[in-house]
Chain A
């Protein structure tokens, strides 16, 4: 009951201070004053008193209704939590300069599409294909950049993805990017399915000191990890062993893959050498991420001014009807017409 009351509110609560004006009908009346020689001459009349009370109430309702309506009453909207199918997806996008080249490692010319443009097109289709997915977007080059925090506003996410095929920056500092992308998950129920989608065309050495921090974060959040590796033709694959020494410096892609595999969280790498392969990888991720997710639904606030206007209208109709039916005792007596019963309270007006 109290909960229900708390949800009522007004746009201009200050106007409610005018409410005492609604007591005006107790002091005065809109009806005509009719002089009567002696009040005691008229017997007490039940219907007259009832009409008098009705008119006062009608006046109070009309004035109070209008004041309430002007204050703009409404019942607050509420946020309902429901369960749908979807996932929290944290997208981590490489914005290093090489993303603006084609899959063949050239500057795009004519109808060719750069890696960034291809991922932009395909990711934009991924976002919004399911209503209850939540997305966060993080970009990284030399430094990680928080682009959009975890949100269910898909238009905003698409706006962030629309910006990824602009000229990129310098280097690929993947460790800090991963740390920020993980921090985007934030608090959520443990049942929520989380996915981290890394889109990059290269890798970098992860500092051993940072590796432990990342490992701890992965263990705590347990996201499903997807690495969409946009491989340039001719460059080493994730699984290629380098000819010489097998160090992270010599083959950063392979060692990043090994690091991801050592995390003990569900992990899949997709090596894409063209736009079709990217599309296929995204479709696979979409199929894999099918878990219940709690999502919030906003129930909009409800405007109650209409009810106040309606109440005021009822009061006004009564007042106007009473005014139309007013009879003047002096003149009616002269014309010898039947006295209409709908007179205002004669007792009061004679007093």
Chain B
């Protein structure tokens, strides 16, 4: 038998084919370059409510320590940004009074992670420039701002309007329904909790009491049921004679109100369940924006080569134990 004939005969050997297959795959892995492909990134403007009710500590962190809504929201946003594919863009703003305040326009989330992280860590309720919390007005302006920046919106709030909305309801949304996509994130627990109170040096001094806040909005016309109230007089006491009572000094997440706002504006409501979990709802609600990604084909080639190689070495063992292999005789 000559050498060429010998090689020819050996070529029909199953294990040779396995080894040769592995050889080709590994050789391919050595020369393979990452394949470019488009991934779905997002471009998002996050507006964080920094009003007083966001200081309510109705979350519990990993160590069991009560944590404020604002701190939980900050951690959740950090988690969200860290999980976005590179090429995504993130802008940050604050909300208090009735308008959002833009801290920075969109930044690429991988190269700019350190500054974004620092800016998120720096958010503080003390940055608030006024005490009111007119959520709907702030939300509508945030939507307009996201539209200007060409981004989607994540608006984190607990939904507590201060002062309370008048009986005829809040302002109407004048933008285009669904013109900006994104999330309204409801921060807070469903049960009522006291709101911490701070003095003018920023030190905590206790909680708000029932008499410290406006319990009913008495601007504008009285509600329809005012005539049934104690001491009602159309001219002198259109809201009744009794002082307003209520639970506005306590706070819970106003989920039904936020869901209504979401329906009005075409956003999606998502509850903030803790420091994780904003990523999935955002991906569902946001406009997918192609960002360049790279796929390394080497692990696939390498894994296939390893399987072929192991098969080549294992067949004699298997055959010896009576497992069927390709060999006829």
Chain A residue with Cβ nearest B112: A156
Interface residues of B (CB under 8 A from A): 1-3, 6-7, 10-11, 13, 15-16, 18-20, 22-23, 26-27, 29-30, 91, 94, 99, 101-108, 111-112, 114-116, 118-119, 121-124, 126-130, 298-299, 302-303, 305-306, 309-310, 312-314, 316-317
- B1 near A337 (CB under 8 angstroms)? yes
- Out of A62, A146, A335, name the residue touching B1 (CB < 8 Å): A335
- B115 near A319 (CB under 8 angstroms)? no
**Can you name 9 extra interface pairs (CB under 8 A) apart from A95-B101, A323-B20, A332-B6?**
A30-B19, A139-B103, A149-B121, A309-B298, A320-B16, A325-B6, A327-B6, A331-B1, A337-B1
A33 to B317, CA, bound (A): 12
A33 to B13, CA, bound (A): 12
Residues of B within 8 A of A63 (CB): 306, 309-310, 313
- A67 near B306 (CB under 8 angstroms)? yes
- Asked, given contacts A66-B305, A151-B114, whether A30 binds B313 with beta carbons under 8 Å apart, the answer is yes
> Could you tell me the dominant secondary structure of chain B's interface residues?
helix
Q: Could you give 15 example pairs across A and B, Cβ below 8 Å?
A: A30-B316, A62-B309, A63-B309, A67-B306, A146-B127, A149-B115, A151-B118, A155-B108, A159-B91, A312-B305, A313-B23, A316-B19, A316-B305, A320-B19, A323-B10
Residues of B within 8 A of A340 (CB): 3, 6
- B6 near A147 (CB under 8 angstroms)? no
A28 at the interface (CB under 8 A from B): yes
Residues of A within 8 A of B16 (CB): 320, 323-324
A257 at the interface (CB under 8 A from B): no
- Out of A27, A32, A145, name the residue touching B13 (CB < 8 Å): A32
Output the least CB separation between A129 and chain B (Å).
19
Instruction: Flag A39-79 by CB within 8 Å of B: 1 or 0 each.
Output: 00000000000000000000100110011011010000000
- A24 near B314 (CB under 8 angstroms)? yes
Instruction: Flag A126-169 by CB within 8 Å of B: 1 or 0 each.
Output: 00000000000101011111111101010111011011001101
- B19 near A313 (CB under 8 angstroms)? no
- B130 near A309 (CB under 8 angstroms)? no
Interface residues of A (CB under 8 A from B): 21, 24-25, 27-30, 32-33, 59, 62-63, 66-67, 69-70, 72, 95, 137, 139, 141-149, 151, 153, 155-157, 159-160, 162-163, 166-167, 169-170, 305-306, 309-310, 312-313, 316-317, 319-320, 323-327, 331-332, 335, 337, 340
- B298 near A305 (CB under 8 angstroms)? yes
- Asked, given contacts A69-B298, A159-B91, A316-B309, whether A62 binds B22 with beta carbons under 8 Å apart, the answer is yes
Residues of B within 8 A of A151 (CB): 114-115, 118
A306 to B16, CA, bound (A): 24
- Out of A59, A142, A156, A310, name the residue touching B30 (CB < 8 Å): A310
A157 to B317, CA, bound (A): 64
A131 to B97, CA, bound (A): 39
- B299 near A309 (CB under 8 angstroms)? no
- Asked, given contacts A70-B303, A159-B107, A306-B30, whether A28 binds B115 with beta carbons under 8 Å apart, the answer is no
- A143 near B104 (CB under 8 angstroms)? no
- A69 near B29 (CB under 8 angstroms)? yes
Chain B residue with Cβ nearest A306: B30
- Out of A147, A306, A312, A313, name the residue touching B104 (CB < 8 Å): A147
- A326 near B104 (CB under 8 angstroms)? no
- A149 near B119 (CB under 8 angstroms)? yes
Residues of B within 8 A of A325 (CB): 6-7, 10
- B10 near A162 (CB under 8 angstroms)? no
- A143 near B128 (CB under 8 angstroms)? yes
Residues of B within 8 A of A332 (CB): 1, 6
- Out of B1, B103, B121, name the residue touching A147 (CB < 8 Å): B103
- Out of B23, B94, B119, B303, name the residue touching A148 (CB < 8 Å): B119
Residues of A within 8 A of B121 (CB): 149
Residues of B within 8 A of A155 (CB): 107-108, 111-112
- Out of A148, A306, A327, name the residue touching B118 (CB < 8 Å): A148
Chain B residue with Cβ nearest A317: B23
- A313 near B30 (CB under 8 angstroms)? yes
A59 to B26, CA, bound (A): 14
Residues of A within 8 A of B29 (CB): 69, 309
- A153 near B111 (CB under 8 angstroms)? yes
A196 to B122, CA, bound (A): 19
Residues of B within 8 A of A331 (CB): 1
- B127 near A309 (CB under 8 angstroms)? no
A151 to B122, CA, bound (A): 14
Chain B residue with Cβ nearest A166: B102
Residues of B within 8 A of A327 (CB): 1, 6
A69 to B129, CA, bound (A): 56
A144 to B108, CA, bound (A): 25
- B302 near A66 (CB under 8 angstroms)? yes
Residues of B within 8 A of A62 (CB): 22, 309
- B104 near A142 (CB under 8 angstroms)? no
A327 to B1, CA, bound (A): 9
Residues of B within 8 A of A69 (CB): 29, 298, 302
- B298 near A28 (CB under 8 angstroms)? no
Residues of B within 8 A of A28 (CB): 313-314, 316-317
Chain B residue with Cβ nearest A332: B1
Output the least CB separation between B79 and chain A (Å).
19
